[in-house]
Amino acid sequence: MSIRYREEIKNIQPYKPGKPIEDVKREYNIEKVVKLASNENPLGCSPKVKEAIINAVDKLAIYPDGNHTELKNILAKKHKVKADNILPSSGLDEMIDMIAKTFIGKNDEAIMADITFPRYAQTTEIMGGRPVIVPLKEFSFDLNGILEKISPRTKVIWICNPNNPTGTMITEREFVEFLDKVPSNILVISDEAYREYVTKDDYPFNSIDLTKKYENLLIMRTFSKAYGLAGIRVAYTIGNKEILQYINRVRGPFNVNSLAQVAAIAAIEDEEFLKKSYEINLQGKNFLYEEFDKLKLHYVPSETNHILVNVGRDGQEVFIEMQKRGVIIRPVMGNYIRVSIGTMDENKMFIENLIEVLKE
């Protein structure tokens, strides 16, 4: 074909999402399938969200509020910032994309870990920039390693805290020491997709306050994980108003659909649901730790809703074998797989099948 594509996208691989449950049911002709591959909330979402969505259905003929005014006002109150310090997006996926479009030009550099959320590198490459990869150290971010990689071409530093897929976190003290050393003309982005699951006190729970002192810091939050709204696509970013205004220039006019806006508002108001999600996750995590210990499998202690575990066999193979039995997990690298923490029934089904697969 003679259609001419941009050079930058020639080597980009499309994102591989976790396999949908229905596909696995069809492919292997099995009835019961559990998906522990995409870190979704096994409890679903708050009943208040369902009600809000039903009430908003009558207004689907009308374009959404392109300025997300009500959502921003509620978030501003919750986080004690001004509405113009907030920019909602259609999931963090869209924000990662918008950040790349706003800041990354040809041969610009974005620093990130080797084992982290894959979209940071892909969106950098799509814009013609160069991902500068700093290997994790014992499954955690090597902040000094990142500082050493800063060059005149560095535009952005991607921090995922806690990190997907390792579940490890950076403490408040480590983060502040790091921010003190990053030149103020380099954007630091803290992707906090899993912060609602963090159990440790020394996590930077005050990260939004830090944006007042460190104007080059952006904090990203999503409704996709602990709030159980991955299907509706809504998230937001908090930081310096001027930076957000630039990102706003590349944003589509109605990026967050109207159901997503009302869903997010209702979700914020149901703190009970969030608490329940945290509790179920903690119970599931402790159960899985115990089972992994019994099986003598090495795992990385997690501050998220997923665990990276060494199954002692090729992860891709284990992934296929588990899938045949109706359990979808994610192979990560070598003998490591990532399993999302489910309901207790799902966790048990995962462990029972893992034992079978590892016996083979």
Ligand X SMILES: *Cc1c(COP(=O)(O)O)cnc(C)c1O
CB of 61 to ligand X, least distance (A): 27
Residue placing its CB nearer to ligand X in the complex, 191 or 346: 191
Residue placing its CB nearer to ligand X in the complex, 87 or 235: 235
Residue placing its CB nearer to ligand X in the complex, 86 or 235: 235
Residue placing its CB nearer to ligand X in the complex, 208 or 235: 235
Residue placing its CB nearer to ligand X in the complex, 251 or 351: 251
CB of 91 to ligand X, least distance (A): 3
Residue placing its CB nearer to ligand X in the complex, 154 or 190: 190
Residue placing its CB nearer to ligand X in the complex, 130 or 306: 306
| CB hemisphere CA count around 337 (13 angstroms) | 29
CB of 251 to ligand X, least distance (A): 15
CB of 352 to ligand X, least distance (A): 27
Query: Can you give the chain as a three-state secondary structure string?
Result: CCCCCCHHHCCCCCCCCCCCHHHHHHHHCCCCCEECCCCCCCCCCCHHHHHHHHHHHHHCCCCCCCCCHHHHHHHHHHHCCCHHHEEEECHHHHHHHHHHHHHCCCCCEEEEECCCCCHHHHHHHHCCCEEEEECCECCECCHHHHHHCCCCCEEEEEEECCCCCCCCCCCHHHHHHHHHHCCCCCEEEEECCCHHHCCCCCCCCCHHHHHHHCCCEEEEEECCCCCCCCCCCCEEEECCHHHHHHHHHHCCCCCCCHHHHHHHHHHHHCHHHHHHHHHHHHHHHHHHHHHHHHCCCCEECCCCCEEEEECCCCHHHHHHHHHHCCEECEEEECCEEEEECCCHHHHHHHHHHHHHHHHC
Residue nearest to ligand X (CB): 91
Question: CA-to-CA distance for 351 and 103, rounded, in angstroms?
Answer: 44
Question: CA-to-CA distance for 353 and 358, rounded, in angstroms?
Answer: 9
Q: Do the Cβ atoms of 105 and 85 come closer than 8 Å?
A: no
CB of 355 to ligand X, least distance (A): 28
CB of 201 to ligand X, least distance (A): 22
- The site for ligand X (CB under 6 A) is made up of 39, 91-93, 117, 160, 164, 191, 193, 222, 224, 230, 235
Q: Locate 99 and state its tokens.
A: 């950040």
CB of 226 to ligand X, least distance (A): 11
CB of 87 to ligand X, least distance (A): 13
CB of 356 to ligand X, least distance (A): 29
* N- to C-terminal Cα separation, the chain: 47
Residue placing its CB nearer to ligand X in the complex, 36 or 357: 36
Residue placing its CB nearer to ligand X in the complex, 264 or 351: 264
Antiparallel, parallel or unpaired: β 336-340 and 330-333:
antiparallel
Residue placing its CB nearer to ligand X in the complex, 35 or 353: 35
CB of 93 to ligand X, least distance (A): 4
